Chain A
Amino acid sequence: MDNLEFANHFLEPRRYGNIIRDLNPLNRLNIFLVLGLSVFFVSKYQYGFFMVVLLFLIAALAGRLKNYLSVYWKIMLLFGLFLFCVKAAFSPGVHMIFQLWGIHVSIESIQSGLSLISKVLSFSGVVVLFVQTTEWEDFTYALEQIGVPHTVSFVILSSFQTISDLGQSANVIMDSQKARGIETDGNLWKRAKAYIPVMGPLVINAVSGVEEKSIAMDARAFSAPVQNSFLIELPKVTVKEKAFVILIDVLFVALVVGRIALWLL
């Protein structure tokens, strides 16, 4: 990329060239939330598993399948497998299949297990997928467009930065404390005793740096009472996108209303 091209790409709204990642972040959140919440209103567990498959397809379509899987496999293991086992082994049921000590597997407990993990898996998938397909700065930009103050963007974006900063200084402090003779391996008590000498300096350092940070930010007009400008903008929402989101919302409301009507009647 030469200099002119680099300068010019700030004049265009940011696009990823992908149908899912180019959706407005808030619209995407809306669509994903509808997908995730709809599982709680459909009683068949097959729908939940269908949603899990659908999320895989969406992830592939967005070109993020690998990133999605790298987070999601842990959830599949923890909540897909273990949660199912716990639920299947301990839920009450009449039609016993297998019984040993306190463990009793029955048809009912397997069904309740399936229905629970289908919900947990698909809702977790929605959250993971949204995070994996969204840049945080795009999300906070979209929030500011609908009137959220820019301090919120600062807090969200700065948290990520601070987490990696503090993580690094935690390692540095841990190394220094090790050099001083504090043990970080060994039995539980030894490891527990290492926690405070690391956490103490870490937090106090971070807290006392706050004043300088606030002065530095104010010197860059952080709290100036003016309209903010943006280095990167997102494309305008198209009519087609808006219509799609409204259609999905209407379908969801219809589903919820239908479900409540079924409960009441």
Chain B
Amino acid sequence: MKKWNKLTIFLLPIGIAVNVVGGQLAIMLKLPVYLDSIGTFIVGSTCGILPGLIVAVLTQLLNSITLPTNLLYIEIGMLFAVLAHFFAKYERFKSIPRTVVNGIIAACMSTALAVPTTAFLLGGFVGTGASVIVTALMASGWSVLPATFVSELVTETMDKVIVMIIVFFILRAIPDRLLVKLPNARFFIKDMDEED
């Protein structure tokens, strides 16, 4: 295995903590979104796929300490880590409109992954705000699959678009002298090769 970038190792706990604290803050402010994947996107886009994956998996493990059903959604965090790397690679963090599109892409893909688990394993119930929409839809005669799909898509899109905008601002605010030492620096700082 190639030797790990040292700063990356120290960024991992921060990515995990940002995920957790971001989620807690959203709960504290009683926001109807989760906002618990900011750290995954930041580490995934600045450090690459593998560090992003580690952050995503460990975050989900930590979250499952209090709500073990979170383990069922572990693949979604992993998806975000991979997406973050490619968003950075194809310069999709350069402007707000692009960032919003990122959010919609991420939301659609994660919905596609989450719906089968929620609908078939948990009967449409996840224990969050989205469950209210699901039960309301089901009570008015929808079957479990479309009800789960609609509620997940609505909450996920809102969540991921906001997350992406926050990530966009944070990535812009990370100083170049730090960014340049991280594995994915070449995606963010264009004239790097000439400086070498």
Contacts and interface: CB of A to CB of B under 8 A. Distances in A.
Given A195-B29, A195-B35, A210 B21 contact: no
B125 A86 contact: yes
Q: What class of interface size applies to chain A in its complex with B?
A: 35 or more
A162 B169 contact: no
B10 A213 contact: yes
A193 B174 CA distance: 21
Contact of A199 (B6, B66, B166): B166
B192 interface: no
B127 A82 contact: yes
Interface in B1-57: 4, 6-7, 9-14, 16-18, 20-22, 24-26, 29-32, 35, 38-39, 42, 54
Contacts of B38: 199, 203
Interface in B116-145: 122-125, 127, 131, 134-135, 138-142, 144
Interface in A41-79: 71, 74-75, 78-79
B67 interface: yes
Contacts, number: 169
Contacts of B9: 151, 154-155, 214
Contacts of A155: 9, 12-13, 16, 54, 58
For chain B, the bracket of interface size reads 35 or more
B97 interface: no
Interface string A81-108: 0110011011100000000011100000
Given A74-B66, A204-B174, A218 B21 contact: no
A113 B124 CA distance: 12
Given A79-B69, A120-B69, A204-B170, A162 B17 contact: yes
A207 B178 contact: yes
Interface stretch (A165-173, A233-241, A243-251): A165-173
A206 B14 contact: yes
B13 A162 contact: yes
Contacts of B175: 208
Contacts of A37: none
A192 B68 contact: no
Given A82-B127, A167-B24, A223-B6, A192 B29 contact: yes
A208 B174 contact: yes
B149 to A, nearest CB: 15
15 contacts: A74-B66, A79-B127, A82-B125, A83-B122, A90-B123, A91-B123, A128-B65, A155-B54, A158-B13, A170-B25, A196-B169, A198-B25, A203-B42, A206-B17, A210-B11
Interface of A: 71, 74-75, 78-79, 82-83, 86-87, 89-91, 101-103, 112-113, 116, 120, 123-124, 126-128, 131, 151, 154-156, 158-159, 161-163, 165-167, 170, 184, 188, 191-192, 194-196, 198-200, 202-204, 206-208, 210-211, 213-214, 217-218, 223
